[in-house]
Structure formats: structure tokens, C-alpha cells
Amino acid sequence: MVSFRGFIAIDIEPFSILKNFQQDIKKTGANVKLVEPENVHITLKFIGDTPEEQIDEICEIISSTVAEIKPFEIRLKGAGVFPNESYLKVIWVGMSPVDTISTISKILDEKLASLGFEKEKKNFSPHLTIGRVRSAQNKDELIKVIEKYKEITFKTFQVSSIKLKKSQLTPKGPIYSNLKEISL
């Protein structure tokens, strides 16, 4: 049985202020693995190792979940870290409003459980992962940069589709490809 490492996401086109944020992070000398600008996305549901034979069923679930949802606007605003500033693991950009995205994620989680996918244990927190912190090296400088972007509005954009994506892990980082795009 052939399988793929999958997730359901909203793609974000690369944009200049995000690239500036990432450049400022690089300048700190912190040990951070930045997400390539073309790979930035909002994960709605990570599904992990998935048999290819389930692609059609997954796409039917995505389609039924967003059938009544019209394209909507999202504002990317603010930066922060998970889990907290004492223990940095993920650098993120936030967004608002989150109700439509949160609803889509919750329904996908419920419906995909019927195909055997594990339900999320944590509450959904919509965000863009910008980088993963590998060590505490230059942590104070990194926190200063994140503080600088804490209240910044990065971009407003229209969400018009949801994608089923495949992730191939390589030594240089993941390679994402679109398996299916479902328009709103």
C-alpha cells in the first residue's frame, strides 16, 4: 500500500514584510530553522501517513466541510512564540478573524475521525509557522526581534481555496506538493 505524509492547509503567497521578519531573525545569529517563504501555510489538519487510496474520500470530506463557505478575508497580524518566551520552540505570525478557519479545522477534525484519523488533543490555534528554534543560542536578541513584530499587521489576503498537500521530508527541509485544491 502506497502512502504519503499529508496535511490540509491554506497556502500563503510569499510577501515582503514576512521576508523582512525572517531576515531580522537571521541577523540575530539565533539557531532557528526558518520556513522557506514559498512553504508558509496555515495548517488546518495534519493527517500524517495516509494511504493514497483515501485521497478521494479525504477530498470529499474537505468539499462537504467548505461547501457553504464563501471566500473570506484574513489579516496576518502580530508575532509570538510557542510554547512561551522561556522555552522557545516555534516562531509564529498570528491572524484574525479566526472563527471561519477554526470552524473549518474543527469540522475537518470531526469528519476525518470517521476515516480513522486521530482527533486533535490540543485546541486549534491558527497561525503561520515562521521558524523552529533549535537551541537557546542568542535567545535575547531573538526575543527583541519578535517583540518588534508583535503588533505589526503583515498582510490581508483572501482565502479562496483549501488544499490537500503532501510533505516529503528531505535533509534540506520539507518539499510540499499539492494533491488537490478545493475552491470555496
Extract the C-alpha cell encoding 55: 485521497
Closest by Cα among 116, 135, 157, 182 to 18: 157
Number of domains in the chain: 1
127 tagged catalytic: yes
Q: Which segments of the chain are extended strands (E)? A: 3-11, 32-34, 41-51, 72-84, 87-96, 128-133, 153-159, 161-168, 175-183
C-alpha 67/C-alpha 55 separation (Å) is 18
The active-site residue, picked from 127, 163, 165, 166, is 127
What is the domain extent for residue 27? 3-183
H-helix or E-strand spanning residue 64: helix 55-66
Residue 48 is predicted with a pLDDT of 95
The predicted-structure confidence for 74-127, as pLDDT tens digits, reads as follows 999 999 999 999 999 999 999 999 999 999 999 999 999 999 999 999 889 999
Q: Place 172 in a pLDDT band, splitting at 50, 70 and 90.
A: confident
Mean pLDDT, residues 27-54 taken together: 95
Q: Does residue 21 carry a catalytic annotation?
A: no
* DSSP H/E element including 27: helix 16-27
Q: What is the DSSP string of 80-103?
A: EEEEETTEEEEEEEEEE--HHHHH
The pTM assigned to this predicted structure is 0.93
Q: Which three cell numbers stand for residue 27?
A: 541577523
Residue 1 in this model has a pLDDT that exceeds 80: no
Amino acid, single-letter form, for residue 40? V
Q: 115-124, pLDDT tens digit by residue?
A: 999 999 988 9
> Can you read off the three cell numbers belonging to residue 102?
477554526
Instruction: Kindly report the CATH number assigned to the domain that includes residue 104.
Output: 3.90.1140.10
Instruction: List the catalytic residue out of 12, 35, 41, 44.
Output: 41
